[in-house]
C-alpha cells in the first residue's frame, strides 16, 4: 500500500504543480532553444518526446519533433533534421510551420528541387502562404526557371498588391531574362511606393547599363548612393563595373574600384572586378594579386574564381585555368550569373 500511495502522491503533485513531465522538458528545451544551446535543446526535446503520452495535444508532440529537427539543422545534421520534421508531419500533415522551417534546411543544402517539392506540399494547405511562395520562387530562380518564378511571385501580388518583395523578385527575374523594359516597370513601381528603396535604384542602374543608357544608369546608381552613405562603396563598384567595364573603359574603371576599396577594404567583389580590369589592361601580375586578395576575403566568390581562371589562361597555364573554371562552376556560377564558365570549359577542353 505504501508504494501505491507514493505513486498517487507523485501523480497528484505533478498535476498540482501544473506541469507534466512532457511540459517540463518541453519548456526547458524551448528555453535552451531561445538561448541557442541547440545540443542542450535536443536532449530536452528528446526527453519530452519520451513522455509524449502526457502531451496536451498532438501539436505539442509535433512541435517537439519540429524544433528538435531545427536544432539538428543548426548543427548541420541535415539528414536527421529532415527525419524529425517528417515525424512532425506524420502527426500533423497540415502543420505549416514544418514546411516553412524545412525550407531553411533545403536551401542550406542547395537542394532546390527538394525545396520546391516541400513548398508545394505546404501550399496545398495554404495556397497564399508568403514564406513558402517566396522560398519556392527563390529556388526556381536558382534553377533558372524564371518564368515559373514570376508566376509564383504574382500569386503573392494578387493576394497583396503592395508586396514590394514580390515586385523586386519579379524584377530580378526579368533582369535575368534580359527583358529590361519589364524589369523597369516593377522597379519603378517599387520606388513609387518606397522612394528610398536603395536596392531598387541600384537595380534600375544595372538595367539601364544593360540597355546602354549610361547616363540614366549613373543617375540611378548615384541616387542610391545619396540615399544611404553606408552603401557608397557598392555604388562606386557598380559605377566601375556597369558604366566603365561595360563600355570597355577598363582604365577609367580603376578609379571607381579604388574608391570602393578605400571605403571598404574587405570588399571582395571590388578586388575581383579591379583584377579583371587590370587583366584586360595587360597587367597580369597586378590582376593576379587583386583576384587572390578577393579570394582571401571570400573563398566562395565564384566570379573571382572565373577571373582567376582567365588570368591563368592569359598566362598560358591552361591546367590552372581549368581548375579555377571548375571551381567557379561548383560554387554556383551558372546559377548566379550566366553560362560563361560553361563555355570557357568547353572552349578550352577542360576535363
Q: What is the 3-state secondary structure (H, E, C) of the chain?
A: CHHHHHHHHHHHHHHHHCCCHHHHHHHHHHHHHHCCCHHHHHHHHHHHHHCHHHCCCHHHHHHHHHHHHHHHHHCCCHHHHHHHHHHHHHHCCCCHHHHHHHHHHHHHHCCHHHHHHHHHHHHCCCCCCHHHHHHHHHHHHHCCCHHHHHHHHHHHHHHCCCCHHHHHHHHHHHHHCCCHHHHHHHHHHHHHHCCCCHHHHHHHHHHHHHCCCHHHHHHHHHHHHHHCHHHHHHHHHHHHHHHHHHHCCHHHHHHHHHHHHHHCCCCHHHHHHHHHHHHHCCCHHHHHHHHHHHHHHCCCCHHHHHHHHHHHHHCCCHHHHHHHHHHHHHCCHHHHCCCHHHHHHHHCCCC
Q: Give pLDDT, residue 4.
A: 40
Mean pLDDT estimate for the chain: 92
Per-residue pLDDT at 117 exceeds 80:
yes
pLDDT tens profile 179-194: 999 999 999 999 999 9
Per-residue pLDDT at 176 exceeds 80:
yes
Q: Which residue has the cell 519548456?
A: 27
Q: Give pLDDT, residue 279.
A: 96
At 297, list the grid cell. Answer: 576575403
At 17, the pLDDT band (50, 70, 90 cuts) reads low
Q: Give pLDDT, residue 335.
A: 72
At 2, the pLDDT band (50, 70, 90 cuts) reads very low
At 55, the pLDDT band (50, 70, 90 cuts) reads very high
Q: Which residue has the cell 566562395?
A: 300
Q: Give pLDDT, residue 5.
A: 37
Per-residue pLDDT at 143 exceeds 60:
yes
With a pLDDT cut of 70, the percent of the chain lying above it is 95
Alpha-carbon span 283 to 306, nearest angstrom: 17
Q: Which residues contact 136 (CB under 8 A, 6 or more apart)?
A: 115, 116, 119, 120, 123, 152
Q: Give pLDDT, residue 16.
A: 38
Per-residue pLDDT at 338 exceeds 70:
yes
Per-residue pLDDT at 344 exceeds 70:
yes
Contact 140, 156 (CB under 8 A): no
At 331, the pLDDT band (50, 70, 90 cuts) reads confident
pLDDT tens profile 264-323: 999 999 999 999 999 999 999 999 999 999 999 999 999 999 999 999 999 999 999 999
> Quick one: CA dihedral 304, 305, 309, 311, positive or negative?
positive
pLDDT tens profile 227-272: 999 999 999 999 999 999 999 999 999 999 999 999 999 999 999 9
Can you give the length of the chain in residues? 351
What count of other Cβ atoms lies within 10 Å of the Cβ of residue 105?
A: 23
What mean pLDDT is predicted for residues 147-157? 96
Q: Give pLDDT, residue 18.
A: 61
Alpha-carbon span 120 to 126, nearest angstrom: 10
Per-residue pLDDT at 14 exceeds 90:
no
Per-residue pLDDT at 6 exceeds 80:
no
> Quick one: CA dihedral 200, 203, 209, 210, positive or negative?
negative
Q: Give pLDDT, residue 334.
A: 75
Amino acid at each position: 500500500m505504501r508504494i501505491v500511495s507514493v505513486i498517487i502522491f507523485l501523480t497528484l503533485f505533478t498535476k498540482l504543480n501544473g506541469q507534466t513531465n512532457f511540459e517540463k522538458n518541453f519548456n526547458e528545451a524551448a528555453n535552451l532553444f531561445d538561448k541557442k544551446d541547440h545540443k542542450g535543446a535536443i536532449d530536452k526535446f528528446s526527453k519530452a518526446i519520451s513522455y509524449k503520452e502526457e502531451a496536451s495535444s498532438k501539436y505539442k508532440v509535433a512541435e517537439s519533433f519540429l524544433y528538435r529537427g531545427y536544432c539538428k539543422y543548426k548543427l548541420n545534421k541535415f539528414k536527421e533534421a529532415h527525419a524529425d520534421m517528417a515525424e512532425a508531419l506524420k502527426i500533423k500533415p497540415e502543420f505549416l510551420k514544418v514546411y516553412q522551417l524545412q525550407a531553411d534546411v533545403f536551401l542550406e543544402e542547395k537542394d532546390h528541387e527538394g525545396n520546391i517539392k516541400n513548398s508545394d506540399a505546404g501550399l496545398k494547405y495554404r495556397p497564399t502562404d508568403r514564406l513558402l511562395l517566396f522560398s519556392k520562387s527563390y529556388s526556381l530562380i536558382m534553377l533558372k526557371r524564371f518564368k515559373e518564378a514570376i508566376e509564383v511571385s504574382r500569386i503573392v501580388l494578387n493576394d497583396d498588391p503592395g508586396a514590394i518583395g514580390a515586385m523586386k523578385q519579379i524584377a530580378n527575374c526579368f533582369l535575368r531574362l534580359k527583358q529590361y523594359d519589364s524589369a523597369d516597370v516593377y522597379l519603378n513601381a517599387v520606388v513609387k511606393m518606397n522612394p528610398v528603396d536603395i536596392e531598387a535604384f541600384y537595380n534600375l542602374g544595372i538595367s539601364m547599363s544593360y540597355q546602354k543608357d549610361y547616363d540614366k544608369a549613373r543617375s540611378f546608381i548615384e541616387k542610391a548612393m545619396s540615399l544611404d552613405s553606408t552603401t557608397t562603396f557598392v555604388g562606386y563598384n557598380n559605377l566601375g563595373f556597369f558604366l566603365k567595364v561595360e563600355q570597355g573603359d577598363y582604365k577609367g574603371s580603376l578609379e571607381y574600384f579604388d574608391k570602393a576599396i578605400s571605403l571598404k577594404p574587405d570588399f571582395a567583389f571590388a578586388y575581383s572586378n579591379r583584377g579583371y580590369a587590370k587583366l584586360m589592361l595587360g597587367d597580369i601580375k597586378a590582376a593576379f594579386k587583386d583576384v587572390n586578395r578577393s579570394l582571401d576575403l571570400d573563398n566562395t566568390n565564384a566570379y573571382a574564381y572565373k577571373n582567376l581562371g582567365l588570368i591563368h589562361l592569359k598566362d598560358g597555364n591552361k591546367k590552372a585555368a581549368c581548375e579555377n573554371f571548375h571551381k567557379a562552376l561548383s560554387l554556383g556560377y551558372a546559377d548566379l550569373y550566366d553560362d560563361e564558365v560553361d563555355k570557357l570549359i568547353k572552349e578550352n577542353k577542360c576535363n
